[in-house]
Amino acid sequence: MKLMMVILNDSDADDVISRLIESEYRVTRIASTGGFLRRGNTTLFVGTESDTIEGALEIIKQASADPSQPGQRKATIFVLGVDQYTQL
């Protein structure tokens, strides 16, 4: 099991989330702020199996707009191993 932490522009979040959900990924959305100019970001938590990480990365890449300024990125993505999770 893996946990993807995806930090992206607010303007891309709705499209990315919709496409991930259509592809049956489970997504949790958190509003966040960061970067030099303190612009609004969205942080997504995506729980998935190891063999579906590449599919999620491709969806995020396709659904995110190209950066408007030099040095900006479409998204920053961390993939973490999950030893255990519990749903109550």
Domain interval for residue 53:
10-65
- The answer to whether position 31 is within a domain reads yes
Q: Taking residues 58-72, what's their average pLDDT?
A: 90
- The answer to whether position 88 is within a domain reads no
- The answer to whether position 53 is within a domain reads yes
The structure's pTM equals: 0.88
Give the domain CATH number at 52: 3.30.70.120
Position 68 pLDDT exceeds 90: no
pLDDT tens profile 40-55 = 789 999 999 999 999 9
Lookup: tokens for 67: 């950066």
State the pLDDT at residue 39: 67
State the pLDDT at residue 33: 74
Position 37 pLDDT exceeds 70: no
Give the residue from 61, 13, 16, 9 showing the smallest Cα distance to 35.
9
Asked whether the beta carbons of 46 and 85 are under 8 A apart, the reply is no
Instruction: For residue 75, give the amino acid letter.
Output: A
pLDDT tens profile 4-32 = 999 998 999 999 999 999 999 999 999 88
Choice among 2-16, 25-39, 58-72 with the minimum mean pLDDT: 25-39
